[in-house]
């Protein structure tokens, strides 16, 4: 990403995908795999290992015990699997707060991702990033101060308006 007081375009063309489309694509791919069974709404809460493999318990509508040769924990940064195995996660947590919105609009630089550091208008955050998604949708991220109030829907709409006005010479393009 390029640093500068004005809008700076990201070099290259990073691929951006809307999260709901990515999640649906992954689900579709999994559904074609005979060896995978997707169990939603369940949380792993117990893991026991013995000489022959692993036993795991999930709670939820289909709360049950599962047995297998291996267990792979892909359960995120606060991994239950990691904690159940007593594995520490040394290091410091870097807290970053963002407000994120996906909206259909027209920006003056169609199809280009950008990072805008220190936008010049009053009340602007340190950084705003915009990534083009398919169908004229943009995902916009505002870097927020580490501590502060929750972003209400009204505050988000105000932020969208002031950002679009800042980028479009004071006019707000049609947005949905």
Site residues for ligand FAD per CB under 6 A: 43-44, 74-76, 80, 98, 100
Q: Between 148 and 170, name the residue whose CB sits nearer to ligand FAD.
A: 148
Place of tokens 């947590």: 93
Q: Which residue is nearest to ligand FAD (CB)?
A: 76
In terms of Cβ atoms closer than 10 Å to its own Cβ (0-12, 13-18, 19+), residue 40 is exposed
* Residue of 52, 50, 57 lying closest to 81 (CA atoms): 57
Q: Between 98 and 161, name the residue whose CB sits nearer to ligand FAD.
A: 98
Q: Between 7 and 57, name the residue whose CB sits nearer to ligand FAD.
A: 57
Q: Between 76 and 148, name the residue whose CB sits nearer to ligand FAD.
A: 76
53-59: long-range contacts at Cβ-Cβ below 8 A with a sequence spacing of 24 or more? none
For residue 72, the minimal CB distance to ligand FAD (Å) is: 11
For residue 76, the minimal CB distance to ligand FAD (Å) is: 3
Count the Cβ atoms, other than its own, within 10 Å of residue 131: 20
């Amino acid at each position: 990403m390029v640093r500068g007081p004005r809008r700076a375009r990201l070099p290259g063309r990073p691929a951006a995908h809307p999260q709901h489309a990515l999640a649906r694509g992954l689900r579709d791919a999994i559904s074609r795999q005979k060896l995978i069974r997707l169990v939603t709404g369940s949380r792993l809460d117990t893991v026991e290992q013995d000489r022959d493999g692993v036993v795991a318990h999930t709670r939820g509508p289909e709360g049950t015990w599962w047995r297998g040769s291996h267990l792979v924990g892909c359960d995120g940064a606060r991994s239950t699997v990691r904690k159940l195995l007593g594995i520490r996660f040394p290091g410091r947590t870097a807290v970053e707060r963002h407000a994120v919105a996906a909206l259909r609009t027209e920006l003056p630089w169609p199809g280009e991702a950008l990072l805008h550091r220190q936008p010049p208008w009053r009340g602007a955050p340190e950084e705003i990033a915009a990534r083009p998604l398919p169908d004229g949708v943009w995902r916009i991220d505002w870097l927020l101060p580490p501590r502060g109030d929750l972003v209400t829907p009204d505050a988000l709409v105000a932020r969208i308006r002031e950002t679009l006005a800042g980028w479009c010479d004071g006019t707000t393009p049609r947005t949905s």
